[in-house]
């Protein structure tokens, strides 16, 4: 059980999580605005937890790997201690601990997420998609299942797999869009098996980043990964209508906006190096308005999958 905190201290922790979400998760933050007011702080808390761990891994690159690992381990230890009732002066953990207790969230999901964050400090490439899926199980799929109790599906067991698939779809979308950014951090998330399939080398990716232009082979690689991501979106689509009616507009919006990033990559000729693919603000607002007005229970139209790919 989380320790009892003064109301002002707990409110400050939730406000800190909300600010992290507003600053760094623009697409998801917009979608969250469509949730009932009482649910939003809890979504912000989960985002704050994942974002802070990610920043320890990615925003401390000037530090030696061992020191970065120690920072992540120390923060993880404070989190675990908080789960067992210890007081913490961390600026955001009180909100996370409060949300976990309020919805009885599965602690194993948080352990899996922290394990994947630790992997980022040691692993810079993945041999094949199965290896990447092992990483994404903790970095993405469990975020979908963390969210489920807040989104209140009528049948949580049935909604679990679509939630996992949506997490995987969002994560793979990010990997496709952010190839250049990840290269700067010394990582290649697109599987090495896929690179070899299209005759792409790590050196070629670095040259594309230097020139701000993708080669034909890299464009074909990106086309392939988009098809794989859309297979995850297709598996996730039925889950939206399983949620509580008041939660559907939020997840419907996030679904379409993240899938829209792939549309932007396609419109750029599958060149993820020329510019960072973003959904224009006018389209973002139009999608949110349309989803808000969509009758709950309306099936989600999944994006077409050009060539089905095996997913787990």
Residue 144 φ then ψ, to 5°: -60, -45
Question: Looking at per-residue confidence, does 311 or 177 come out higher?
Answer: 177
Residue that terminates a domain, selected from 69, 103, 122? 122
Which pLDDT belongs to residue 180? 95
Domain total of the chain: 2
User: Percent of the chain having pLDDT more than 70?
Assistant: 96
- Asked which of 89-93, 122-126, 147-151, 299-303 is least confident by mean pLDDT, the reply is 299-303
Q: Is residue 2 pLDDT above 70, yes or no?
A: no
| Same-domain status, 56 and 88 | yes
Residue that terminates a domain, selected from 94, 122, 150? 122
Q: Is residue 101 pLDDT above 80, yes or no?
A: yes
Cα angle 230-232-235, degrees, rounded to a multiple of 5: 110
| Same-domain status, 177 and 265 | yes
**Tens of pLDDT along 198-256?**
999 999 999 999 999 999 999 999 999 999 999 999 999 999 999 999 999 999 999 99
| Same-domain status, 95 and 174 | no
Mean pLDDT for the stretch of residues 153-179: 98
The CATH number linked to 287 is 1.10.600.10
| Same-domain status, 147 and 295 | yes
| Same-domain status, 113 and 203 | no
| Same-domain status, 118 and 211 | no
| Same-domain status, 303 and 182 | yes
215: domain range? 126-312
| Same-domain status, 66 and 156 | no
Q: Is residue 141 pLDDT above 70, yes or no?
A: yes
| Same-domain status, 85 and 221 | no
Cβ(3)–Cβ(230) below 8 Å: no
| Same-domain status, 264 and 232 | yes
| Same-domain status, 145 and 262 | yes
Cβ(254)–Cβ(233) below 8 Å: no
- Residue 260 to residue 101: CA distance in whole angstroms: 34
Mean pLDDT for the stretch of residues 3-28: 88
| Same-domain status, 23 and 109 | yes
Q: Which of 238, 130, 249 is nearest to 194 (CA)?
A: 130
- Residue 212 to residue 89: CA distance in whole angstroms: 44
User: Percent of the chain having pLDDT more than 90?
Assistant: 86
Cβ(257)–Cβ(30) below 8 Å: yes
Task: Give the C-alpha distances (Å, rounded to integers) separating 160 from 130, 165, 239.
Answer: 20, 9, 8
Residue that terminates a domain, selected from 89, 122, 155? 122
Which pLDDT belongs to residue 309? 45
């Amino acid at each position: 059980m989380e320790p009892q905190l003064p109301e002002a201290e707990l409110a400050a922790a939730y406000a800190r999580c909300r600010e992290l979400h507003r600053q760094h998760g623009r697409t998801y933050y917009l979608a969250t605005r469509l949730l009932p007011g009482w649910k939003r702080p809890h979504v912000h808390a989960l985002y704050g937890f994942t974002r802070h761990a990610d920043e320890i891994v990615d925003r401390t690159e000037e530090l030696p790997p061992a020191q970065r690992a120690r920072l992540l381990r120390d923060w993880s230890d404070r989190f675990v201690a908080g789960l067992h009732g210890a007081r913490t002066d961390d600026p955001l953990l009180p909100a996370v601990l409060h949300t976990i207790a309020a919805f009885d969230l599965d602690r194993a999901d948080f352990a899996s997420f922290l394990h994947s964050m630790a992997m980022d400090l040691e692993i810079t490439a993945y041999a094949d998609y199965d290896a990447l899926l092992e990483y994404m199980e903790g970095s993405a799929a469990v975020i979908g299942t963390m969210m489920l109790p807040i989104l209140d599906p009528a049948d949580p067991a049935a909604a679990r797999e679509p939630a996992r698939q949506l997490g995987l779809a969002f994560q793979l979308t990010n990997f496709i869009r952010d190839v250049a950014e990840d290269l700067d951090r010394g990582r290649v998330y697109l599987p090495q098996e896929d690179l070899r399939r299209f005759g792409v080398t790590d050196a070629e990716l670095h040259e594309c980043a230097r020139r701000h232009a993708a080669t034909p082979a890299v464009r074909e690689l990106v086309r392939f990964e988009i098809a794989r991501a859309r297979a995850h979106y297709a598996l996730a689509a039925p889950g939206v209508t399983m949620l509580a009616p008041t939660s559907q507009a939020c997840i419907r919006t996030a679904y379409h906006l993240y899938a829209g990033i792939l549309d932007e990559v396609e419109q750029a000729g599958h060149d993820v190096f020329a510019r960072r693919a973003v959904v224009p603000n006018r389209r973002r607002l139009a999608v949110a308005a349309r989803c808000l007005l969509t009758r709950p229970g309306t099936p989600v139209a999944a994006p077409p999958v050009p060539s089905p790919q095996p997913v787990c």
